[in-house]
Chains A and B, each alone.
Chain A
Amino acid sequence: MSAAAVAGENPLRRALRSGRVVVGGSILLILLFCAVAAPLIAPYDPNEQDLLNALKGPFWSDNAEPGFWLGTDNLGRDTLSRLIYGTRVALFVAVCAAVGTMLFGTMLALLAGYFGGVVDWIISRAVDLWMSFPPVVLSLILIVGFGVGIGNVILAIILVDWTRFCRVVRSEVLVIRRQNYVDAARLSGFSHLRTMVREVLPAAAPLIITLMSLEMGIAVIVEAILSFVGMSVEASIPAWGVMIADARNYMYQSAWGLVLPILAIVTTVLAFNLLGDGLRRTFDARLQQH
């Protein structure tokens, strides 16, 4: 199929032809279902303790206990139920943080790339400043400053990761800015704001959507890291990072307790990356020719 024929097609349909998009999207739909329907499908309350049945293995292992499909943790809490409830924190943080990062980063990128000059200089120096911190270190000190809680975790991720959007979208905007139709819009009397939002932004949209998908994966990881060091959500909320931190102390008795939440995180991040990768390939003309 020629590139021109592909380009004329409905982008959604084109994206759906990519195996990556379909697999990534399907996994995410399942996870979304788990998050929304958690109280209906989880067999137990995620915080319900059953100390007589602590550290049980999953159903295929030797020390399985009927009723606890994926085993239990050191307090006898049902691993499956905690995993299902854990999708709530993971996806909530992923979506909110990615949307926030996108809005903040893209706004600054538009300003920098569109106006250039001093505005660009200031924003680019701010990006340099931010990039001189390893992301994990910056998110940790932000959380120390703000205090724990899911809202603060999201805020910290936005304040750390806006640079990812800003850098990439800025260079895209620099290219779009030089297109004739942008000048044409200005000449026909569009205001700066209208030109930015109506003419420049749509051209950068494919890139932004791709970046958002990847950012959601990153947000899941950052939340898990913060949960792991005990600096994310309140203790009563089940999160995958917390499960990992708990299970780490008992890995000799029950390795599955550690493996399963790791798999949950990797699967989720993989789904976001597949989706992002697939979208990038759909939109990127250069890659299509290879």
Chain B
Amino acid sequence: MSGEILGIVLRRIAVAIPLMLLVSILVFIVLRLIPADPVAMSMPPNATNEDIEALRREMGLHLPVMHQYAIWLGHILEGDLGRSIAFGQPVFKLIGQSLPATIELAAFGALFATAIGLPGGILLFRLRGRPSEQAVDVGSTLMMSIPEFLWALFLILVFGVAFNLLPFAGRLPPDMTIPKVTGFLLLDCLLTGDFTAFLEAIRHMLLPALALALGTVPLIMRLLRSSLLDVIGEDYVTMARLRGVPERRVVNRHALRNALLPTLSLMGVQFGFLFGGTLLVEVIYSYPGLGNLMVEAVRNTDLPIIQGAALVFALAVLTINLAVDVVYIVVNPKLRRAR
């Protein structure tokens, strides 16, 4: 079985590689449209025309576009994403510093979304046909109308400003520092044995992760409910009922197992979106991750960072989709045998 799964993973990676190449072309082309001139931005105002021309040649801007793309791609494959115009540091290093924070945040967001969404979906399903269904339904439509960045602001207002319960800026209190081992803060706290910092890091993570999760929860709830509605009419469910299995057990043991599969595959797509949602949430919570880096770069028109961050976001989404596909195949024996 593991060999079979390995084969599937390799096949998916083989599909992902040309996709990633196309992504890089797309990023390159879009950012070539940019009205700002990268040469002018990195020159002092008193530069002469000869200086500008020299820099253009140095940056390869006199070459045909496809040639420029080939050079750019070659550098990326060597791990060179260029230098940030604003910070003067290699983009690779800047992204490497901020990516662990984003991964940590997105992982917690996904965890919260699952922990709230799945029981919520079952609840929604159990309430079918009851008078309270309408109220819960309208409630979930209302929740669907609140994107994560508004949740982020709303949670700050309630838990940060009004009740002052939780912090909402950064990953740690300003007077606390943790030596960098892996870049993943929670892991570093544990590795250095600093449990106070660990708890603080969790406290700082709660609101942004919850904001991310709340943007996804109603979708998971609705998805699970409609999957449950689909399987509840199946023969094996009826059979279980006829055997006198209690309703709760029918739902939890018989229906849920099969209803979870389509939910799981769509949750993968949602977690890809959730990863993108970190962008705004990080900005709002001054969270030093990839999204914050990218929005800052957008404001400064810092092209190399924008390109690098966009590529990493796309790579992350493809990786998440791949991971979910693999989990899907592992938990779904039907699919496994069919291949």
Contacts and interface: CB of A to CB of B under 8 A. Distances in A.
A154 B249 CA distance: 50
Contacts of B213: none
Interface stretch (B57-65, B180-188, B292-300): B292-300
A132 B314 contact: yes
Contacts of A137: 276, 279, 294, 309-310, 313-314
Contacts of A132: 19-20, 23, 272, 314, 317-318, 321
B22 interface: yes
A228 B30 CA distance: 22
B136 to A, nearest CB: 14
Interface in A135-152: 135-138, 140-147
Interface in B285-324: 294-295, 298-299, 301, 306, 309-310, 313-314, 317-318, 321
Given A140-B294, A141-B27, A251-B157, A134 B279 contact: yes
Given A140-B294, A258-B157, A145 B276 contact: no
A229 B128 contact: no
Contact of B275 (A134, A229, A265): A134
A273 B218 CA distance: 13
Contacts of A244: 153
Interface in A202-220: 217
Given A132-B318, A135-B276, A144-B34, A229 B299 contact: yes
A217 B156 CA distance: 24
Given A217-B145, A274-B141, A133 B317 contact: yes
A129 interface: yes
B279 A228 contact: no
A269 interface: yes
Chain A: interface secondary structure? Answer: helix
Nearest to A269: B145
A266 B145 contact: yes
Nearest to B31: A145
Interface in A254-281: 255, 258-259, 262, 265-266, 269-270, 272-274, 277
A80 interface: no
A146 B269 CA distance: 28
Contacts of B156: 251
A135 B215 CA distance: 14
Interface in B47-64: none
A230 B299 contact: yes
A129 B15 CA distance: 11
B15 to A, nearest CB: 9
B123 interface: no
14 contacts: A133-B310, A134-B272, A140-B306, A141-B30, A141-B31, A141-B306, A144-B30, A144-B31, A225-B280, A228-B149, A229-B295, A251-B156, A266-B150, A269-B147
Interface of A: 20, 128-129, 131-138, 140-147, 217, 221, 224-225, 228-231, 244, 248, 251-252, 255, 258-259, 262, 265-266, 269-270, 272-274, 277, 290
Q: Nearest 7 A-B pairs (CB), nearest first? A: A134-B276, A270-B145, A269-B145, A145-B33, A145-B30, A137-B313, A221-B147
